[in-house]
């Protein structure tokens, strides 16, 4: 089982626990507090899934650049691949190495990256509820399609 699948499984367990607490709450304020905890839990698991996704993207880029450096025949193209400094290349630039900028996969990642940045910088209220099962499927699909 992949880390992504493990995260989904653990999220479902924790969300079920929080949902039971929410349903057992006796007051509206208590219900609201448990609902907020569930929302925060979803955002936390989204961040963990995104971190895994980002690590995989980094590995994919590294493999692709290394492969191209080793197989490119012309000196001009070799210089292009040798000039890529992955450590100083932003995340969306790395996505641009794996897929065409402006195409569906690129745009999907850009939207998710925007959500990731909002959460990472504490703007929780700017982000709607996160549906982890949807995001899990999204990350799995992208990892499959972006793999070189």
For residues 4 and 58, what is the distance between their CA atoms, to the nearest angstrom? Answer: 16
Residue 143 · residue 56 · CB < 8 Å: yes
Residue 136 · residue 49 · CB < 8 Å: yes
Q: Taking the complete model, does pTM exceed 0.75, yes or no?
A: yes
For residues 27 and 22, what is the distance between their CA atoms, to the nearest angstrom? Answer: 10
CA atoms within 13 A on the CB side of 121: 9
How buried is 85 (Cβ within 10 angstroms: 0-12 exposed, 13-18 middle, 19+ buried)? exposed
The backbone torsions φ and ψ at residue 4, rounded to the nearest 5 degrees and listed phi first, read -60, -45
In percent, the amount of the chain with pLDDT more than 90 equals 80
What would the mean pLDDT of 58-64 be, rounded to a whole number? 95
For residues 34 and 57, what is the distance between their CA atoms, to the nearest angstrom? Answer: 34
Picking from 143, 142, 107, 135, the residue whose alpha carbon sits closest to that of residue 119 is 135
pLDDT band at 124 (very low <50, low <70, confident <90, very high): confident
Say which residues have a Cβ less than 8 Å from residue 7's Cβ, sequence separation at least 6.
Answer: 45, 48, 49, 52, 136
For residues 138 and 28, what is the distance between their CA atoms, to the nearest angstrom? Answer: 34
pLDDT band at 84 (very low <50, low <70, confident <90, very high): confident
- Give the pLDDT confidence score for residue 1 in this predicted structure: 62
pLDDT tops 90 at residue 126: no
pLDDT tens column, 20-35: 999 999 999 999 999 9
How buried is 39 (Cβ within 10 angstroms: 0-12 exposed, 13-18 middle, 19+ buried)? middle
- Give the pLDDT confidence score for residue 79 in this predicted structure: 81
């Amino acid at each position: 089982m992949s880390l992504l699948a493990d995260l989904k499984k653990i999220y479902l367990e924790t969300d079920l626990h929080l949902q039971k607490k929410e349903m057992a709450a006796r007051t509206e304020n208590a219900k609201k507090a448990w609902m907020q905890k569930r929302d925060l839990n979803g955002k936390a698991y989204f961040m963990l899934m995104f971190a895994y996704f980002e690590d995989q993207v980094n590995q994919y880029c590294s493999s692709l650049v290394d492969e191209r450096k080793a197989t490119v025949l012309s000196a001009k193209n070799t210089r292009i691949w040798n000039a890529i400094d992955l450590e100083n290349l932003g995340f969306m630039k790395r996505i641009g190495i794996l897929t065409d900028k402006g195409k569906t996969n690129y745009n999907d990642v850009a939207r998710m990256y925007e959500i990731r940045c909002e959460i990472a910088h504490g703007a929780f209220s700017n982000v709607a509820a996160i549906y982890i099962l949807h995001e899990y499927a999204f990350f799995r699909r992208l990892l499959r399609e972006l793999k070189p």
